[in-house]
Structure 1
Amino acid sequence: MAGSPQFRQAMFCVPALKEPKPKGENKTLKELTMLLVIDCGNTNTVISVFDGLEKLAMWRMATDSKQTADDHAVWLDHHMKRASIPGDAITGAVIGSVVPACLPAFKRLISKHYGFEPLIIDGKDPAHGVAVRIDRPEQAGADRIANSAGAAEYPLPAMVIDFGTATTFDLIDADGAYIGGTIAPGVNLSVDALYEAAARLPLIDPASWNTEMPVIGQNTVDAMNAGLFYGYISLVEGMIDKLGAATGTPMTVIATGGLSALFTSAIRGVDHHAPDLTLRGMVLIHQYWSNNNNE
């Protein structure tokens, strides 16, 4: 039942949400009604275009609070033209940002260049439709709310591990509510911290990490690679075990985030690798909001 419209209906208590159209359906890009999804993280911002739950295009740029709405418009127009996506096909937008300083420019991008107001995912505003059962719901980040919505496509309860600037562990209960979690330093933060704080240690590139690397390093670089890679695996496996014990309930464990591909196959206990989980959660939230506002 997980992933079905009925499953998400139970979570959001709204009519069944739209599923992606079958590939090959005779419909031109100009005829599609598309959703612009902006996921602004601390390091990178991912912008994608969805038709229903079908991702049509995705682009990534460095997060920069100095960029204006016009800067974003030029960048986005270039990429959309290369993907043959007409701007007038964009009929909705949803923004989730963990960088408050970036939000005004993205809001202005939508209102000025597309002529409508975007949905902003905000812990202070329950319009997102996800129950947030923590001490201070307004502190829940847009990414954690979106991950909770995206987890509704899997059996609940669930744990979402998001490998980003920070590595977050989000817990979603059987009702689809976000009930808290943990925050640990991200992989690249750990790499940078070693390089910046230790005069004789080089900067390591995580892209080369794999399970064939020796656990015992015979030189400085190998020792750093082993400590960072296997140490991080142990951190994540340890948190899976501890959070599972704390809840006392078996959970579906889902890995997402920009660096999740490096670790998913090496970490014991991960059930699913879902690189688009946050984006899909944002789409589901927008569909929930649209259903409520069109009644």
Structure 2
Amino acid sequence: MLLTIDVGNTNITLGVFDNDKLTGTFRMTTKQPRTSDEYGFSICDILQHRDIHVRDVDAVIVASVVPDIMHSLINGIIKYLSVSPLVVSSGTKTGIRIVTENPKEIGPDRIVDAVAGYELYGGPVLVVDFGTATTYDLIGPGGTFEAGITAPGIETAARSLWGGAAMLPAIEIKKPKSILAKETISSMQAGLVYGAIGQTEYIVNKIKEESGYENLTVVATGGLGKIIARETESIDIYKSDLTLNGLRLIYNKNKKR
């Protein structure tokens, strides 16, 4: 079995693949400091709780945007799973050619999403990831990473809102019954959700206009992406496990190495 690990700024998402089938997904918080033993034990405990035998995991791939935790995480994997993980980096074979001005600035998470978007849906494709940041990554017909747009994530914007305004409460992020809000909570929900919908539609349309890719397939992922995807025709497909599948695809391209 293959264990895929996506280390984001907020959460660590893990997925276990039996060949091409995703058999389980799990989450851990990223910001809690952990030793290598704590990482190893936590991963083993999660797997065993889902009836996945640790000894059945014979390969691990990791993509991370949080360098500070990588030493402990990798050592924990090696000590407890007896596997040396493949870490996605600039030297990893992906099948995607980056043609931006500084290819090394493109984060591993975005490359993984680009691989999944292109391999699963062809090109041109636009991958929109609603995470800590909302990212829009354009992959051309030949598998070229052509452009990337970065905006504040919905939850990031929400935390800034209630963290910076003393009288605004922390709220659940969901679409309110009407944009015509009549009290504080629904007014915040309306601003966050409808604001994200409007941003998505404008950016997607602008990308189509400037790239000339009118037949662009737009694929969304990320936890809050489901809320936005069902409210706009600008998004063609929502796939919650896009990043994990991208890791699987990259591992398959590199396993002979």
Measured after TM superposition, the shift of residue 155 of structure 1 is 3.0
2:203 matches 1:236: no
In structure 1, the residue matched to 2:158 is 191
2:252 matches 1:290: no
Hey, what's the Cα distance between the residues in 2 that align with 1:129 and 1:107?
25
In structure 2, the residue matched to 1:20 is none
Hey, what's the Cα distance between the residues in 2 that align with 1:189 and 1:58?
23
C-alpha change, 1:65 and 1:289, in structure 2 (3 Å) is: farther
Measured after TM superposition, the shift of residue 166 of structure 1 is 0.5
2:104 matches 1:138: yes
> Does the 8 A contact of 1:64 with 1:102 survive in 2?
no
RMSD: 1.4
Matches within 5 A, 1:37-48: 37-48=4-15
> Does the 8 A contact of 2:44 with 2:80 survive in 1?
no
Matches within 5 A, 1:271-286: 271-286=236-251
> Does the 8 A contact of 2:4 with 2:15 survive in 1?
yes
SS of alignment partner, residue 179 of structure 2 = coil
> Which amino acid is the alignment partner of residue 225 of structure 1?
Q
In structure 2, the residue matched to 1:68 is 35
SS of alignment partner, residue 93 of structure 2 = helix
C-alpha change, 1:111 and 1:200, in structure 2 (3 Å) is: same
Where in structure 1 are there 5+ consecutive unaligned residues?
1-33
Q: Deviations over 1:228-278 (max 9, x none)?
A: 111111011111111111111121000101111111110221111111111
In structure 2, the residue matched to 1:260 is 225
Hey, what's the Cα distance between the residues in 2 that align with 1:126 and 1:84?
31
Q: Deviations over 1:12-48 (max 9, x none)?
A: xxxxxxxxxxxxxxxxxxxxxx111110000010111
Which of the two has higher C-alpha Rg? 1
**Between 246-255 and 195-204, the greater mean CA deviation after superposition:** 195-204
Hey, what's the Cα distance between the residues in 2 that align with 1:184 and 1:53?
32
> Does the 8 A contact of 1:237 with 1:269 survive in 2?
yes
SS of alignment partner, residue 230 of structure 2 = helix
SS of alignment partner, residue 84 of structure 1 = coil
In structure 2, the residue matched to 1:171 is 138
2:211 matches 1:247: yes
> Does the 8 A contact of 2:39 with 2:77 survive in 1?
no
Measured after TM superposition, the shift of residue 65 of structure 1 is 5.9
Hey, what's the Cα distance between the residues in 1 that align with 2:83 and 2:166?
52
> Which amino acid is the alignment partner of residue 116 of structure 2?
G
C-alpha change, 1:225 and 1:182, in structure 2 (3 Å) is: same
> Which amino acid is the alignment partner of residue 108 of structure 2?
A
Matches within 5 A, 1:1-295: 34-64=1-31, 66-122=33-89, 124-151=90-117, 152-206=119-173, 209-210=174-175, 213-249=177-213, 250-291=215-256, 293=257
C-alpha change, 1:85 and 1:246, in structure 2 (3 Å) is: same
> Does the 8 A contact of 2:139 with 2:145 survive in 1?
yes
Where in structure 2 are there 5+ consecutive unaligned residues?
none
Hey, what's the Cα distance between the residues in 2 that align with 1:37 and 1:69?
18
Hey, what's the Cα distance between the residues in 1 that align with 2:136 and 2:164?
27
Hey, what's the Cα distance between the residues in 2 that align with 1:129 and 1:240?
24
**Between 243-252 and 101-110, the greater mean CA deviation after superposition:** 101-110
